[in-house]
Structure 1
Amino acid sequence: MTSTLLDTVNSRLNPNRRRALALTSALLAAFALAGCAAGGNSANPTASSADGSGAKGVSIVVMGGATDDPFWSTVKRGGEAAAKVVEAAGGTVTFLAMPNYDNFDADAAKLVANVASQNPSAAVIPDWSPDAQNENITSLARSGVPVFLYNTGIDQVDAVGAQAYIGSDDYESGKLAGETFADAGAKHVVCVNTLPGTTNADARCRGVKEGAEPGGAKYQELALPTSQFGDPTAVAQAIKGALIQDPSIDAIFTPGQADTNAAASGIDQAGLTGKVSLGGQNFDTESLDRIKAGSQLFAIDQQGYAQGYYAVSAAFQQAAYGIALTQNPLLTGPALIDADNVDTAVSGVDQGVR
């Protein structure tokens, strides 16, 4: 399915940024066609290997979030779609997931080490916590393994010796959220950060601040313990408490889908549904239903399916054939979902790609 949601972002960006996104979109289309061509010749990516085993022995290892995180399930589905082409050519794709988010930094660093222990031909890694992960990522890259950062780590490619970054720009995601709140008339925006200290969550909250304040809105960050990430009761109570304590808060942003539904519950428990605007990074069917009903203003889509698909594709093509991306970073978002285009997002969810 071809998304048109980036058009929403284009209207908010400067000409240079629009041109970059247009080039990215063109590259994504070309990359998709190349992938189809690779699998369309009797599942044969090379003309010289009639048995379809032109990449026999090539192994791609992909690191991702916890299996019960709905966003990462979408990312994995994208990776699995690309893996079909890899497997048809004789290669393999292995997915390694975080156990949970309770001991985030240490587990993320350990999982990078687990990736290295697989002796991959190429690795796909989200650089959530550079202080914890970069030593192991750098070691892997220096060993000669092509490393592709995806989802998070747009500013860490050179630092760790990675090939490229594939994903959304977390700062721009937050900035788009802040601007959207301000455009809607919000005066006091709160970013609820349940993963403080991680690159993506911190960048999103920083972006919210720098998007909202120029529009006349006050900004505040509500940092919660990482153990509360994905704990709906704890997050809802924290948001309810903040709203009761400060009635001037009129907009809530959560930088992860696991907490958006909890935020909606907290707003409702405070008796402020319809009075406090809600926006979230990523989404599920509940978020889309709220957007359609008018009780959630927007969701920011980083298009996780595309992240998984293009990251696995890029890693495979580099490892198997030496084909390198011509654009770095390769952006998959941010894209704004609101009342104007929510039906398109619903269609994508129905197909399992959003």
Structure 2
Amino acid sequence: MDRSSHTRSRRIVPVVAAAAAAVLLVAGCSSSSGGKRAEGSGNGVSAGKASTPRMTVAMITHAAPGDTFWDTIRKGAQAAAAKDNVKLVYSSDPNGPNQSNLVQNAIDQKVDGIAVTLAKPDAMKTVVARAEKAGIPVVGFNTGVQDWKKQGLLEYFGQDEGIAGEAFGRRLDQAGAKHTVCVVMEQGQVALEARCAGVKRTFSGKTDILYVNGTDMPSVKSTITAKLKTDSSIDYVTTLGAPFAMTAIQSIAESGSKARLATFDLNKDAVGAIKAGKIQWAIDQQPYLQGYLSVDSLWLYKTNGNYSGGGEAPVLTGPAFVDKSNVDKIAQFAARGTR
């Protein structure tokens, strides 16, 4: 797999555009059919909903309780499931072995497809192999861009977190930053670690890594506040999720720091904070699209043998920067919880 950051970054927009176009094409065929299958389409879609046999897809993530990022993932997955006549069974656990057990439960239930995140790839390797041995197609999304192919997954939908981090680091340089603290809310989670590592590779200033307990937001707030109070040279705070960015706003205010804030990921509150100038920019990986494509891809594979990337290349959904120059275009979608 080509890991060149320059080559990959140039390909992000075309790949995502192609994926989005495919989604729109299916929707277009169904909406123009007037309640009948579009002539010659053979896609089993009528009046905006698949007439193909009911199938069950299990979506198993590493989401921590209360992390609203995953609500957007689920909305995308639910939209695809509604269109595709799919029963969606969602479950999550941030603990690797527990997530593995959830995958095993899906295998035991003989689901038709599994969409899974690989935040702890070593913990998932054995159970993913069991699913494949049982003849259940497995796709990856959101986390695991370095591991999905090694584990034999059919497809992958998400962003390359290392490349996203590198883009973030370059943006820090452009902003004139000298010292950033990168706040990691789950130590050892491969995607989060890759983001901060990417920042460190390209940012010419100093990068500190600050580990916090992402399941305890008051603790997150106090830890960031303490860091800023003890080091006044920090001029940018880098958070790895929108809810943590909103908490960091409070930490910056309470510490008396003059640091600015930028973040990975987006939600309605973060969009408002970008508009208000409290967040300088966010990297959007399009979680709604990740959830949608994960479910839709399993339906397409089941009903028409399709799979994206030929089993060789991931479908990249990001990174894309959102700042004051384009936030108004995103706001309408964020307001309804789909960005």
**TM-score normalised by L of structure 1:** 0.85
Q: Give ranges in structure 2 of 5+ residues lacking alignment.
A: none
State the one-letter code of the partner of 1:143.
A
Structural mapping, 1:79-118, within 5 Å: 79-87=77-85, 92-98=86-92, 101=94, 104-118=95-109
Q: 1:43 to 1:141 in 2, by over 3 A?
A: farther
Distance across 2 between alignment mates of 1:71 and 1:115: 23
In 2, are the aligned partners of 1:168 and 1:333 still within 8 Å (CA)?
yes
Matched, 1:220 2:175: no
Q: 1:161 to 1:47 in 2, by over 3 A?
A: closer
Distance across 2 between alignment mates of 1:339 and 1:217: 24
Q: Where does residue 31 of structure 1 map in the other structure? A: 23
* Offset, 1:47: 4.6
In 2, are the aligned partners of 1:79 and 1:308 still within 8 Å (CA)?
yes
In 2, are the aligned partners of 1:76 and 1:305 still within 8 Å (CA)?
yes
* Offset, 1:252: 1.1
Distance across 1 between alignment mates of 2:331 and 2:254: 27
Q: 1:40 to 1:271 in 2, by over 3 A?
A: same
Identity value in percent: 28
1:44-82 CA distances to partner (integer Å, 9 max, x unpaired)?
Answer: 587597998753142222123356321111111111111
State the one-letter code of the partner of 1:95.
V
In 2, are the aligned partners of 1:105 and 1:133 still within 8 Å (CA)?
yes
Matched, 1:154 2:145: yes
State the one-letter code of the partner of 1:56.
P
Q: Give ranges in structure 1 of 5+ residues lacking alignment.
A: 1-12
Distance across 1 between alignment mates of 2:32 and 2:265: 33
Matched, 1:207 2:198: yes
* Offset, 1:255: 1.3
Distance across 2 between alignment mates of 1:287 and 1:324: 34
* Offset, 1:313: 0.7
State the one-letter code of the partner of 1:292.
K
Q: Where does residue 277 of structure 2 map in the other structure? A: 294
Cα-Cα RMSD: 2.4
State the one-letter code of the partner of 2:206.
K
Structural mapping, 1:1-12, within 5 Å: none
In 1, are the aligned partners of 2:76 and 2:292 still within 8 Å (CA)?
yes
State the one-letter code of the partner of 1:190.
V
State the one-letter code of the partner of 2:227.
A
Q: 1:335 to 1:49 in 2, by over 3 A?
A: closer
Q: 1:16 to 1:73 in 2, by over 3 A?
A: closer
- More divergent stretch after superposition (25-34 vs 147-156): 25-34
In 2, are the aligned partners of 1:250 and 1:277 still within 8 Å (CA)?
yes
How many equivalent residue pairs?
327
Q: Where does residue 130 of structure 2 map in the other structure? A: 139
In 2, are the aligned partners of 1:230 and 1:258 still within 8 Å (CA)?
no
Distance across 1 between alignment mates of 2:32 and 2:292: 17
1:262-290 CA distances to partner (integer Å, 9 max, x unpaired)?
Answer: 21111111012xx2121112122322222
Structural mapping, 1:63-78, within 5 Å: 63-64=60-61, 65-66=63-64, 68-78=66-76
Q: Where does residue 336 of structure 1 map in the other structure? A: 321
Distance across 2 between alignment mates of 1:56 and 1:67: 33
Distance across 2 between alignment mates of 1:313 and 1:246: 48
Matched, 1:260 2:248: no
- More divergent stretch after superposition (293-302 vs 43-52): 43-52
Matched, 1:315 2:298: yes
In 1, are the aligned partners of 2:84 and 2:299 still within 8 Å (CA)?
yes
In 2, are the aligned partners of 1:142 and 1:161 still within 8 Å (CA)?
no
* Offset, 1:36: 3.8
Q: 1:243 to 1:54 in 2, by over 3 A?
A: same
Matched, 1:279 2:262: yes
Q: Where does residue 216 of structure 2 map in the other structure? A: 231
- More divergent stretch after superposition (200-209 vs 52-61): 52-61
In 2, are the aligned partners of 1:67 and 1:97 still within 8 Å (CA)?
no
Distance across 2 between alignment mates of 1:23 and 1:261: 31
* Offset, 1:122: 1.3
